[in-house]
Amino acid sequence: MRPPLPLRLAPALVVTATALSLGACTPTVRLEVAPIEIYAKLDADVRVRLDRELQQLLIENPNLF
């Protein structure tokens, strides 16, 4: 004799309820990224450009100094 339908579905319902409850509790991962400082590279680039501009200015005006 087979058990009634609700008793046969009980293990499936327990597994489904467990899977749904565990699926609702997903972990949250948060990353904090520190800013990257690039001041040295920008400073060097500005110096190179100013040096080139100064050289061009001295070529155009040799009596400047």
User: Could you tell me which residue, 63 or 6, shows the higher pLDDT?
Assistant: 63
pLDDT given for residue 4 in this prediction: 65
Look up the pTM and report it.
0.33
User: Could you tell me which residue, 3 or 18, shows the higher pLDDT?
Assistant: 18
CB 57 within 8 A of CB 64: yes
In our burial notation (b when 16+ CB lie closer than 10 A, e otherwise), range 10-43 reads: eeeeeeeeeeeeeeeeeeeeeeeeeeeeeeeeee
In whole angstroms, what is the distance from residue 61 CA to residue 56 CA? 9
Q: Where are the domains of the chain?
A: 37-65
In whole angstroms, what is the distance from residue 37 CA to residue 41 CA? 9
